[in-house]
Amino acid sequence: MSSLSARLLISVSVLLMFFFGVTIVVLDTAFRSAGEQAQQDILDGHLMALLAAAEPGEQGALEMPLDLHEPRFGNIDSGLYAELRDDQGAVVWRSRSALGFDMPEGRQPRSGVRLFLDESVGDGTPLLTLTLAVQWEFPDGELRPFVFKVAESLDSFNAQIAQFRRQLFGWFGAVALIMLLSISMLLRSLLRPLRRIENEIVAIEEGRRQSLSGEFPTELTGVARNMNLLINSERARSDRYRVTLGNLAHSLKTPLAAMRALLNQGKADDFADRFNEQIDRMDEIVRYQLRKPATSRADKFALTLVPVRHETERLIDGLKKVYHDKDPTIEADIADEMHFRGDSGDFLEIAGNLLDNACKWCKQRVRITIRPAAGAAKGGGMILVVADDGPGIPADAADALLQRGTRLDESTPGYGIGLAVVKELAESYGGQLHIGRADIGGAEISVTIPSP
């Protein structure tokens, strides 16, 4: 029973059967009670007619006319019977309809009390009887007891009850069938949004959609919204890991080049120490890049102060090994006791990418300047500026270079993601990146990170 429609339809069917069953019982009971009351009223009317027709006769007896007002009393086996008995139980008078019919005596009521009973004759025919005992006063003033009794066959009444029940079951069965068909069609219409969600999810899995549409009933709006959030979260997670792998490959480029340069220079006395230094830096880069996708930007509040001068000198030393053939002059102008509040890997990403680009494109001279941001206390914001004396960056190409994979010169080795990485990191700290023209002739890239 995995279908929601089937479950709802079966549940509604059970409820309909229960309520219709109760309704049928109530209606049948009410109809039968009303019919029995009507039968009793009819018998009471016949009894009153007999009392009105009776006349005192000779020798202290009551006499009944040959023809009564109710013609059924004069038709044999008409189903309506009457008799009159004296105080000894002897039959004084019996209607023509009761010829050959033994009316049951039943219980005798007290004088003046009407007694209704459900009785039957020898062949099993059911009867409704009404018995009334009276004290009849004769002209001489003497009171004598008599018992009037009328009876009517219940065959016709029971046949009406049976016919009513058949009609009741028929009509309620038809109504139940129509209601189930209507509910089935209604459920099909009501559950259409669920089927649409299912189809849209399949389309997302097949790549034909990016997210669920927002045109759903109020009850499903939250489900669709949360599903879209989950889809976007998973897509963003996948993008973060893809970006991280790209960043990792880009970050490892510099220490790998430095190691290649050391190998080309030959094994000097301090070769092992310098080589191990680059290996340690690669290990730090790998751990930083793999940790970054799972790190929330809210964790910046718990980060430590990064010594800017020390980390920058490490970067410059490594780049000099990478670009030993070019042997650029790298000038560092860093404020005393300058610190960056954030992740050390983020700072190395920002400064390392900008210095690497500057060394790659410069003619001979590279300059890095790091100053506290305006109004920043110790360990607050910073302004980092890297300039070179190379060809510079055209103004119309500045925005394009901030996109991943964009490079001005395809013949120059690289991945084209350095500036994009710097821009993303700066924005994650609430900062911004600006590309301009340096006073020494080449490009000048400044990164401003405000105080936390």
DSSP 318-383: HHHHHTTTT--EEEEEE-TT-EEES-HHHHHHHHHHHHHHHHHH-SSEEEEEEEEPTT--TTS-EE
Is it the case that residue 299 has pLDDT exceeding 70? no
Please, what is the average pLDDT of the chain?
Answer: 82
User: Between residues 40 and 291, which one has the greater pLDDT?
Assistant: 40
For the record, the structure tokens of 224 come out as 């669709």
> pLDDT for 76-110, tens place per residue?
888 899 999 887 888 889 999 888 888 887 788 88
Rounded CA separation 153/72 (Å): 12
Rounded CA separation 378/305 (Å): 9
Rounded CA separation 97/76 (Å): 4
Is it the case that residue 269 has pLDDT exceeding 50? yes
Name the band, by pLDDT with cuts 50, 70 and 90, for residue 333.
very high
In this prediction, residues 346-375 reach a mean pLDDT of 90
Is it the case that residue 266 has pLDDT exceeding 70? no
Is it the case that residue 416 has pLDDT exceeding 50? no
Q: How far is CA 243 from CA 180, 210, 274, 411, in A?
A: 56, 20, 30, 23
Report domain extents, the chain: 4-161, 295-449
Out of 341-345, 373-377, 438-442, least confident range: 373-377
Decide: 149 and 172 in contact? Cβ < 8 Å.
no
DSSP labels for 152-184? Answer: EESHHHHHHHHHHHHHHHHHHHHHHHHHHHHHH
Rounded CA separation 1/13 (Å): 15
Which of 186-195, 212-221, 370-379, 430-439 holds the top average pLDDT?
Answer: 430-439
Which of 133-137, 249-253, 280-284 holds the top average pLDDT?
Answer: 133-137
Predicted confidence at residue 411, as pLDDT, reads 45
DSSP labels for 226-293? Answer: HHHHHHHHHHHHHHHHHHHHHHHHHHHHHHHHHHHHHHHH---TTHHHHHHHHHHHHHHHHHHHHHGG
Name the band, by pLDDT with cuts 50, 70 and 90, for residue 285.
low
Is it the case that residue 297 has pLDDT exceeding 50? no
> pLDDT for 198-248, tens place per residue?
888 888 888 888 888 877 888 788 888 888 888 887 777 777 666 666 666
Is it the case that residue 8 has pLDDT exceeding 50? yes
**H-helix or E-strand containing 87?**
none
> pLDDT for 39-84, tens place per residue?
999 999 999 999 999 988 777 788 888 888 889 998 988 889 999 9
Nearest-CA neighbor of 355 among 402, 380, 390, 403?
Answer: 390
Out of 199-203, 209-213, 254-258, 435-439, least confident range: 254-258
In this prediction, residues 11-28 reach a mean pLDDT of 91
Please identify, in words, the CATH class of the domain defined by 4-161: alpha beta
Please tell us whether the domain made up of 295-449 is placed in CATH 3.40.190.10: no
User: Residue for token digits 């084209």?
Assistant: 416
Rounded to an integer, what is the distance from CA 403 to the centroid of its chain? Answer: 40
Q: Residue 153: CB partners within 8 Å, gap ≥ 6?
A: 79, 80, 125, 126, 127
User: Between residues 259 and 142, which one has the greater pLDDT?
Assistant: 142
For the record, the structure tokens of 141 come out as 């003033």
Three-state DSSP class for residue 410: coil
Q: Residue 450: CB partners within 8 Å, gap ≥ 6?
A: 373, 376, 381, 429, 430, 431
Is it the case that residue 300 has pLDDT exceeding 80? no
Tally helices (H) and strands (E) across the chain. 9, 14
CB atoms within 10 A of CB 66: 7
User: Between residues 267 and 161, which one has the greater pLDDT?
Assistant: 161
Pairing of strands 55-56, 62-63: antiparallel
**H-helix or E-strand containing 399?**
helix 398-401
Predicted confidence at residue 394, as pLDDT, reads 86
Is it the case that residue 143 has pLDDT exceeding 80? yes
Rounded CA separation 49/155 (Å): 23
Rounded CA separation 252/353 (Å): 11
Name the band, by pLDDT with cuts 50, 70 and 90, for residue 287.
low
